[in-house]
Structure formats: C-alpha cells, structure tokens
Amino acid sequence: MIRYCGSLARGIALVAIGCALFACDARNAGSTTTSPPSSRSERVVTVARDDGRSVTPSGPKPAGFLKGQLHMHSNNSGDSRTAPERAASWYESHGYDFVVFTDHNVVTDTRDEASMLTLPGMELTQNLRRCIPDRGAPCLLHVSALFVDPAVDRWDVPPPTSLERVDLYGRAVDQARGWGALSMLNHPNFADAADIDVVMELARRGMLLMEVENRAVDSENAGRADRPSTEALWDEALSRGARIYAVATDDAHHYDDADLVRRHGETAYVGERGWVMVRGARDAGSIRRALESGDFYATTGLMLDAVEKGERRLKVRALGDGVTMEVVGRGGAVLHRVESAELAWDVPADVTGYVRVRAFDREGRKALCQPLFLE
C-alpha cells in the first residue's frame, strides 16, 4: 500500500482501505530549529533548516555503548521498497551494533549481519479516518513492540470496539505486553496523535518508551502554539509520576533509493538521524535489560562518552565542541546549565520528582539522558 504524503493525509479526501483502518504515515517536509540563546554571547544560533538528510555524529562511537536503531522499515512495510537484508546492511555500514525491525503489523525476521544484531519488532499500526477526540486529521496511532517473538508473525488488527484514542492505543500496548515485548509510543505529535492523557494511560498499562525524537522530518517534535513539544510532553508525564524513557529514532523507509525518491519530488525518510546509545553487551537480553533500566541515552547526533547517575548526583560528558548542557526537572524547569561538554551536579536536597540531562551543540545535535528518579 502507498505512503500518503502530508498534504493528502491531512486533507479531507482520505480513502479508507479496508473498514476503518488504512495504511498511512503522512509526512510534511521541512522545519527550522533554533537553539536556545547562548548566555555567554546573547547570540541566537540559527541551525540550518532540516534538509531531511542523515546527520554527522559529533564524535566516534564511545567505548562501552552500543549504537542501536529502534524504529526502521523494510519492504515488508508497504511504504518501503528496500529488502530487509539491504536495510540491515545499510545500518551495519553506519556503525550500528543492532537494529530492531519495526514493519507495519508484521514481524520481519532476518539473519544477523557479520557485526550487527537484528532484532524482531513490529509497529502496531492503526490508521483511522476519525477517532475521539477528533482533531480534524486522520488518526495515525502507532505503537512499537520491541523484542517480539518471531513466531508471532503478524498482528491482524481487530475491528475497533471503541474509537477513543486512549482505547485504541491501549489495546496495542496490551497486545505488546501480551507478547512479552517492550512497548514504545511512536511520534506522538504526528497528526496530533497522542496527548498527555494517552501517555499517562499507556504508562499505567506498562509502556516503557516514548519517541521524543522520531526524526522523520514531519513528526512535529517541536510542537506548535497550541501543542506542546514532544520533550515537553515527556516532562509533563514525568512530572505526573510516569516512569518512561525517551528514545530517538529514524523511522527510516528509504536507503539506497533515497536520491531516486527525491528526484521524483517525494520526501525521503532516511536513516542515521536519531538513535539510542545503550550500555550493554551485544546480545538481545543485555540490550533489553539496559532499555528496561534506562541505561541508555537518545541522540540526534551528539555523542556522550560518560553518563553517570548516582543517588543524587549527575555526571555527563559529551564529545565535540560548542556543547551546552542543562539539567531539567519537574515541569520542564531548567535547574542548572553549563556551556561545557562536561557536567557534574549534585542534586540539591529540596529538588524532588526527577532530574535529567539534555545536551545540545551549535549544529543542532541533541542528546537526552534518562531521568534520575528522586524519592
């Protein structure tokens, strides 16, 4: 089935394929990002317009961390033309230690490449023309199940018994849990799919991960005047007591065919834009345990080679120049800030809830560490 483009999917002339569900991953191209002003120079650093291309990491892969991709597609999804083996090779050539195949409603089971692990997952994809609350756009409600038993093979999406977003999302998370998989909320701002009520209910049902940086160009991570950014959404959930971790992903659909897709005037959804760095051994069990315990960080290219969390102490070191680090706490408040690639901070006794570190550089690359939950 085809991949609808943003203007079509956001328009009114939507065609349903099969009852209420249809295949769609609508995307709009291009957004401009602005880094926070430098307190040293008062200069606003304008980051180049996102051209939808792969990024250059700020440094080499640090020792002790695995580079992993948690969201990518092959031609087992109707909106990609690349065979699984070729997609895996692409990631292997970009220094990945593991990838999780997350094709739409099917499990792609692949052989491991020479130096890279491929893990079975699935993007549980529910696309509906309308749902509740109705936001005037199609409902593209996607949850990934990671570490799925390949014997599961596929998800035959049952007819909806409720059109409430929270129920539709909820049944996907329940299904992932039923398979013994980890669940991840995908691109919550894409077509305004999920809000804080959804996030809190899914967290209550056991959702562990949330895409704060799904790096497909039209995921609208930055939000709008009437919609919080995905990072603010995460902070809101953490502030309300949810224990969920942030991930960055590619959601790639195009690999060697990216230039061809662009020549046809379409948007290419490519890899090496957002990934996770996981502290663990290169086997599925170790990677899963690290994800479950938050022993990883999300990155859009800024590499960290040290991330330490003590009982009430944070220590982070980044690779590269022009790095700013911030400690973020309850309500998204910035509690501490340094213009440096190194941060060490003791959490004051009056700070409660959680603290986390975000780092960014002049190039617009970002890294998000997982929260330290405070008793």
Residue 198 contacts residue 166 (beta carbons within 8 Å):
yes
The answer to whether residue 27 forms part of the interface with Zn ion (CB under 5 A) is no
Per-residue x/- marks for Zn ion, 112-141, CB under 5 A?
-----------x------------------
Rounded least distance, CB 271 to Zn ion, Å: 12
Residue 100 contacts residue 88 (beta carbons within 8 Å):
no
Q: Which residue has the tokens 């998370």?
A: 173
The answer to whether residue 142 forms part of the interface with Zn ion (CB under 5 A) is yes
Bridge partners for 323 per DSSP = 361
Q: What angle do CA 10, 207, 295 make, to 5 degrees?
A: 115
Cis peptide before 133, with omega less than 30 degrees from 0?
yes
Gyration radius from the chain CA atoms: 20
The answer to whether residue 251 forms part of the interface with Zn ion (CB under 5 A) is yes
Number of shown-chain residues binding Zn ion (CB under 5 A): 4
User: Which range, of 50-58, 233-241, 243-251, 257-265, touches Zn ion by CB under 5 A?
Assistant: 243-251
User: Which range, of 112-120, 163-171, 181-189, 281-289, touches Zn ion by CB under 5 A?
Assistant: 181-189
Per-residue x/- marks for Zn ion, 70-109, CB under 5 A?
----------------------------------------
Choose between 123 and 361: whose C-beta lies nearer to Zn ion: 123
Rounded least distance, CB 323 to Zn ion, Å: 30
Q: Quickly list H helices, the chain.
A: 6-10, 84-93, 165-178, 196-204, 230-239, 258-263, 284-292
The answer to whether residue 272 forms part of the interface with Zn ion (CB under 5 A) is no
Task: Name the residue type at position 208.
Answer: L
The answer to whether residue 317 forms part of the interface with Zn ion (CB under 5 A) is no
Residue showing the smallest CB distance to Zn ion in the complex? 142
Choose between 1 and 44: whose C-beta lies nearer to Zn ion: 1
Rounded least distance, CB 194 to Zn ion, Å: 12
Q: For residue 207, what are the contacts with CB-CB under 8 A and spacing of at least 6?
A: 143, 173, 183, 184, 185, 199, 244
Positions in the binding site for Zn ion (CB under 5 A): 123, 142, 186, 251
